[in-house]
Structure 1
Amino acid sequence: MAVKMIAVDMDGTFLDENKQYNVQRFSRQYALLKEKGIRFVVASGNQYYQLQRYFPELKDEIAFVAENGAWVSDSNEEIFCGELAKEKVHQVLDILAKEPEISTVVCGKKGAYVHSSISDDVVAMLTNHYYRLEKRDDLYDIDDTIFKFSLNLAHEGVDALLERLHTQLGEVENIMHPVSSGFGFIDLIIPGCHKAHGIALLQEKWGISDCEVLAIGDSANDIEMLRQAYFSFAMANAVDSVSAVARYKTENNNDEGALNVISRVLAREFPFD
């Protein structure tokens, strides 16, 4: 089976701990992928505008499954954009107001929004994921298409918060689905609007089957994507639930594990021989 699509997560996968990647090596790889007709897809919880900044020379020709699948584009053409009704946005904010330890980001098509009371230190950290980020006095009054919430908190509180949110959101017709994005982040996504959904839309557009898809990830928000792709790779630094789902393993993100997999594809080495 030949690989026709490569989908990569960013944080903890394609990017190293300094949020960088070997640009020269990947540029050479991408030229060969393009020559062979293999599609390259960036699949991340990060904001669309933030993801474009990592690929300034390629952003107009590659595909992005951004915001954990809430916004999908190919060569700047919008393929899908989720939307949460305003009353549901307010219901979610009411639930999150009971969690004083979290920093809440309201994610929309025009940009991302945090409450004006959030400290500058937290905002500075969030700008690593959100290029367009604004402070607002009232998160209930945002004129934008809202499709995701991102929550940040101390690592040790993630599992307990996930459990509480599963219960509270489930009581409101499963209004949003909470998923860990790693690094102390939890994303609330519209049910069904995950990375696998976005990749499936691109597969349909390009006529690519699951057995021709390669996906690489490290966090819980990659699980659906890895289950869908036949060639599923977990990073050496992946969480246990991801390692359990993936068919194959690769080196960690600081050792260019994702680029090493792409090299194996191009060289037709196992399991691509």
Structure 2
Amino acid sequence: MPIRLIAVDMDGTFLNSRKSYNKERFDKLYQRMVEKDIRFVVASGNQYYQLRSFFPEIQNDIAFVAENGAYVVDRNKELSVGEMSAETIEKVLKIFRDLNAYPQLVVCGKNSAYVDLSASDYFYEKTREYYHRLKRVASFSGIEDTIFKFTANFQEAELPELLEHFRKEVGDVVSPVSSGHGSIDFIIPGLHKASGIQLLQKEWHISDEETAAFGDSGNDIEMLQHVAYSFAMANAAEPVKQAAKYLTASNNEDGVLVAMERLLEME
């Protein structure tokens, strides 16, 4: 059965360690995809506005599963917008207050992302790399926006213990998942990259057997388990490799583009 949809994670997957990709090589592949009516989907935990910036020429022609599935947009048309309840937001904020971790917390909304005034200038500037719309706020409570995700950065060695702690404390209202490089995302249960892909598949009448996906981190696992052609990067975390059916080269070796070429040849 021919491939009709290819979904890619960005950091650690489509993007190399310099936060770029082989544009000339991808452009040639994308033209072949257009000719074959194969959809290209960017599926990432990052902000929609940041993701668009990587594809200036085609950003209005492709689909985005942003914020780990909370915001799904197809050719500038919103298909799904998740929203956390006020009770959920306050419960998550409380656990960060108790940890004294406000300086490393990002609250992700539809219109912007937000960091506390206590966050360092360094943290603010690093966060701007992933959230092109970012504001400092005196209080996270009462932000007038549709909130669909929290994210926070920790030491890599702390992640297993912290994930267990967060799942115990707030796992009934949000799903804490590792998103790579020491980050933990707190997402709306049931809204993840796989749910976003499913929504697009339904919209386009594309089956799981006609879909390929690429990832490297814990927040890619549902997506990789969902599709027939699932690829883990050579640099992926071990649980991600176990979830995928296939392995490709690392993100610094154009691993996604290498596999895409093979998928198109398979056509």
Q: TM-score, normalised by structure 1?
A: 0.96
Paired position in structure 2 for 1:100 = 100
Q: What does residue 131 of structure 2 align with?
A: 130
Which residue is 2:217 aligned to? 219
Q: Please name the residue that 1:192 is paired with.
A: 190
Q: Which residues of 2 match residues 84-233 of structure 1 at below 5 A?
A: 84-101=84-101, 103-170=104-171, 174-233=172-231
CA distance in 1: counterparts of 2:177 and 2:88, whole angstroms: 18
Give the SS at the match of 2:151.
strand
The Cα of 1:92 is off from its aligned counterpart by 1.1
Counterpart for residue 56 of structure 1: 56
How far has the Cα of 1:98 moved from its partner? 1.8
Residue 99 of structure 1, CA deviation: 2.0
Ranges in structure 2 where 5+ consecutive residues have no aligned partner: none
The residue type equivalent to 1:250 in the other structure is T
Matched, 1:40 2:33: no
Aligned-pair distance for 1:261?
Answer: 0.9
Q: Residue deviations 1:107-138, cap 9 Å, x none?
A: 00001000011001111111121111111000
What's the CA shift for 1:79?
0.5
Identity of matched residues, %: 50
Distance 1:100 1:159 in 2: 19
Is 1:5 the counterpart of 2:16? The answer is: no
CA–CA separation in structure 1 for the residues paired with 2:66 and 2:159: 22
Q: How does 1:22-33 map to 2 (within 5 A)?
A: 22-33=22-33
Give the CA deviation at 1:141: 1.9
Aligned residue pairs: how many?
Answer: 266
1:80 counterpart letter in structure 2: S
Shift of 1:96: 1.6
Corresponding residue of 1:68: 68
What is the TM-score normalised by the length of structure 2?
0.98
1:80 aligns with 2:80: yes
Q: Deviations over 1:151-188 (max 9, x none)?
A: 11121111111010000013xxx110000000111000
Letter in 1 for 2:62: I
Measure the CA separation in 2 of the matches of 1:69 and 1:257.
23
Q: Which runs of 5+ in 1 are unaligned?
A: none
Distance in 1 (CA, whole Å) between partners of 2:67 and 2:33 is 25
CA contact 2:91–2:170 (8 Å) conserved in 1: no
CA distance in 1, matches of 2:239, 2:87: 34
Once residues 121 and 214 of structure 2 are traced to their aligned partners in structure 1, the CA distance between those partners, rounded to angstroms, is 33
Shift of 1:85: 1.4
CA RMSD between the two structures: 1.0
Note the C-alpha offset of 1:18: 0.7
Question: Which whole-Å deviations, capped at 9, do the CAs of 1:65-104 have from their partners, x for residues lacking one?
Answer: 0000000010000010100112321121011212235611
Report Cα offsets for 1:33-76 as digits up to 9, x if no partner. 01100000000000000000000111101000000000001000
Aligned mates of 2:245, 2:142 — CA distance in 1: 45
- Please list the CA deviations of residues 195-216 of structure 1 after superposition, one character each: whole Å capped at 9, or x if unmatched: 0000000000000011110000
